[in-house]
Amino acid sequence: MKKKKLLALVAGVALMLPLAACGNKAVATTSGGKITESEYYSSMKETSQGKAVLQQMILDKVLQKQYGKKVSDAAVNKEYNSYKSQYGSSFSTVLAQQGLTTKSFKQQIRSQLLLEAAVRDQSTFTNKKLKAQWEKYEPKVQTAQILVSSKETAQDVIDKLNSHDGDKLKYFKKLAKKYSTDTSTKNSGGVVAAFDNTSASVDSDYMKAAFALKTGEYTTEPVKTENGYQVIYMIKHPAKGKMANHINDLKTQIVETNMNDSTFMKKVISKVLKKGNVSIKDKDLTNILDDYLTTGATTNTTSSSK
């Protein structure tokens, strides 16, 4: 089972280094001389990472202005705690490996939620689209899994489950602790985060096999995924119910689909940036937003020398 990845924002940067204001104040001093803010800025703006940071900062500013009221601190903290719960004791290590702190990661989450608000605002929810989404809809399910490296071992686990007369789930969790090679879930009995049909962090073969199970059932054949061979137990598979009871869920899934559509996202970002009346003051960076604008579109930009 793949874990939900830490956010990758539009500009594609995890470590958001600030672009220093131009000036002669020293950023660092050495025996060979000092490095000034101006030198640092000039160097950073020439790099793809430096440009990506500025792109993200601009987008964050205009998104906050246009959609800031729709993203609460509570929503940011809820998403943060979801990641923290998933990664457990390794969360701090994962953040450090990505060059992130609690503050910077929460800022990334806020950026993502602001972008999601913009996508929702520009998405359409016609009856035709809702019905099409309903055909693919699966409610969130709760599963447990045992990951092993060979088909033979997976079959051995299944055989043990088949021959056990007691509480199957309790025994499954015991087997997970003994056999599973997934260190992130084995100690919890193989239980993984709930997911629905839109999840991008769950292997497609795992998802297909899981949705075919009813509550209390497990896969009777090893499931081959990109991670190895898995045995899946369905802890809770809610009934799909009626479409009328899931309109909000369907709208959210349409938004998530649009978030993964590069063409749709380009249009959203283009509209947001143009409405944001962005003015680029550094002549060397005049075209920095071109990748996020639709063909033939231009931002309200001006240039001036540093």
Beta partners for 231?
A: 146
Say which CATH number the domain at 179 has.
Answer: 3.10.50.40
Please report the pLDDT score of residue 108 as a whole number. 92
- What is the tally of structural domains in the chain? 2
Q: Based on the domain organization, do 108 and 254 belong to the same domain?
A: yes
Q: What is the pLDDT of residues 106-162, one digit of tens each?
A: 999 999 999 999 999 999 999 999 999 999 999 999 999 999 999 999 999 999 999
Query: What H or E segment, with its residue span, contains residue 109?
Result: helix 102-121
pLDDT at 260 over 90: no
Beta partners for 233?
A: 144, 218
Q: Based on the domain organization, do 168 and 230 belong to the same domain?
A: yes
Q: What is the pLDDT of residues 26-44, one digit of tens each?
A: 989 999 999 999 999 999 8
Q: Based on the domain organization, do 92 and 146 belong to the same domain?
A: no
Please compute the mean of the pLDDT values over residues 199-215 and round it to a whole number.
94
Q: Is residue 7 part of a domain?
A: no
Please report the pLDDT score of residue 221 as a whole number. 97
Please report the pLDDT score of residue 302 as a whole number. 40
Q: What is the pLDDT of residues 38-74, one digit of tens each?
A: 999 999 889 988 888 899 899 999 999 999 999 999 9
What percentage of residues in the chain have a pLDDT greater than 70?
Answer: 88
Q: Based on the domain organization, do 79 and 161 belong to the same domain?
A: no
Cα torsion 10, 16, 17, 21 to 10°: value is 60
Q: Name the token pair of 4.
A: 């939900």
Distance in angstroms (rounded) separating the CA atoms of residues 77 and 89: 18
Phi/psi of residue 93, nearest 5 degrees: -65, -45
Distance in angstroms (rounded) separating the CA atoms of residues 89 and 95: 11
